[in-house]
Amino acid sequence: MLSMYKIKPNDIEILVVEDSPTQALQLQQLLEKNKFRVKVTSNGLEALSYVKDNIPGLIISDIIMPEMDGFEFCRQAKSFDRLKNIPIMLLTTLSDPEDVIKALECGADNFVTKPYREESLISNIQNILISKELRKGRKSEIGIEIFFRGNKHFITSDRMQIIDLLFSTYENAIQKNSELDGLNRQLMTMQRQLEQRNIELEKLNEQKNYFLGIAAHDLRNPLASIMGLSELLICKNLGPLTKDQVKYVNSINTVCHNMLALVNDLLDVSVIESGRLELHFKKGSLKKLIKERLNLYDLIAKKKNITIHTKFSKIPDIRFDPDRLVQIFDNIMSNAIKFSPQGSNIYVTLNQNGKMSKVSVRDEGPGMSEEDQSRMFGNFQRLSAQPTGGEKSTGLGLAIVKKIIDAHKGTIEVDSKLGSGSTFSFLLKME
């Protein structure tokens, strides 16, 4: 039956009502590519002015437009007797069911949701033009009063027009559902691929930690031997050395010391990331542990004329791993000295913060930018601030500190601004 209705695009002018120049041009090019003649207007008022003197074969209108929206344009256009049988297709990004009621109420013939597939839009255009031919001579307007969401709507359209619009709305819903189904399948495929990739990455990470641990372990003993021998030479236990020899041996000792620090950090990272970190908790005095460590750091600080100030509140003994806590405090304290200028001050405090014991180390160094603070707990992170005495850094210390504190179920806090120094605090549960 439909084969008798032949659509000749060259004989049909389509009026496009679209306020977006980009979308109007895109639609115009699509229609012209399919041999339709096209007239573009930028809003409802301009389109109404055009149809007073011209009768297009089809009108395609956006809904959300300035001055006059698509619903009002459709209503006014359909009020002209000579435009009653001109089909109007509404394009919209709206998805509320009430939009369909409004479209019926204003006399629209077709409803397409943006973004649309080009082939689907052309198919809809062809169908609506065929329906236009089928409706010729079939005047069967009806009046329907409906209630939707508490509002009364009165629809005056012929039966075919209502059927066309409802079918187009249903077809549009099917299309969107199909697109969503396709996207869902793509997402499921991507999820499976990501899960597989994560499994592969976890295996690679385990291998990396394994080889890292082996390499670091194999380096540790030779480095310790070289350090021990260099210290014997420095102490002149093996006889006097020339000035140049002392200089070279000191260099060897310093390099070995830095390399051994890196090796120890690598071993810690390997143990922590492989899930083999074991904590040996003991109940003890945090104040006593910190005081003992400060005896060492007082000597180191004096080399840079740095004064360490302390303020300790009385807090009860808590449970912690003493060796790992020394590692935490040493890292924070050595960083404070490392980045503090000559003649500055460092403030170490211990107090109770609710149900947590809090240790804070504040320096008068250069401070840190927000960018540095966002990445400082990552592995191998070198921050923009430079040590003031040429000290070396492995870029692993704070990453290890964070992981050990996490293992204690504690927290670490940083308060820092460029030019205003930094305060590092770690908090441990008192229960």
pLDDT by residue for the chain (431 residues), tens only, comes to: 434 455 677 889 999 999 999 999 999 999 999 999 999 999 999 999 999 889 999 999 998 898 898 999 999 998 888 888 888 988 877 566 677 777 777 888 877 878 788 888 888 888 888 776 655 555 544 444 444 344 544 445 555 555 555 555 565 666 666 667 777 788 888 888 888 888 877 776 676 666 666 666 667 677 777 777 777 777 766 677 778 887 888 778 777 776 777 676 666 766 776 677 788 899 999 999 999 999 988 988 998 999 999 999 999 999 999 988 998 998 899 889 988 999 999 999 999 999 999 999 999 999 988 888 888 887 766 666 666 655 656 556 788 889 889 989 999 999 998 888 999 999 999 87
Q: Identify the pLDDT of residue 374.
A: 85
DSSP notation for 117-153 = -HHHHHHHHHHHHHHHHHHTT---EEEEEEEETTEEE
In a domain, 166, yes or no: no
* Domain CATH code at residue 243: 1.10.287
Q: Identify the pLDDT of residue 1.
A: 40
Q: Domain check: are 289 and 425 in the same one?
A: yes
d(Cα 32, Cα 122) in Å, to the nearest integer?
11
Q: Domain check: are 77 and 24 in the same one?
A: yes
pTM over 0.75? The answer is no
Give, as one character, the DSSP assignment of residue 380.
Answer: T
Q: Domain check: are 291 and 399 in the same one?
A: yes
If one counts the domains in the chain, the total is 3
In a domain, 154, yes or no: no
Q: Domain check: are 263 and 289 in the same one?
A: no
Domain boundary, last residue among 96, 119, 137: 137
**Domain enclosing residue 203, as ranges:** 196-273
The kind and range of the H/E element at 201 are: helix 159-234
Contact 346, 361 (CB under 8 A): yes
Q: Domain check: are 10 and 92 in the same one?
A: yes
Strands (E), 322-421: 345-353, 356-362, 411-416
Q: Domain check: are 262 and 298 in the same one?
A: no
Contact 79, 52 (CB under 8 A): no
Q: Identify the pLDDT of residue 16.
A: 96
Domain boundary, last residue among 246, 273, 300: 273
Question: Residue holding tokens 């229609």?
Answer: 31
Q: Identify the pLDDT of residue 163.
A: 56
Cα radius of gyration (the chain): 39
Q: Identify the pLDDT of residue 164.
A: 56
- For residue 404, give the amino acid letter: I
Q: Identify the pLDDT of residue 213.
A: 63
Q: Domain check: are 264 and 296 in the same one?
A: no
Q: Domain check: are 419 and 359 in the same one?
A: yes
* 60 three-state secondary structure: strand
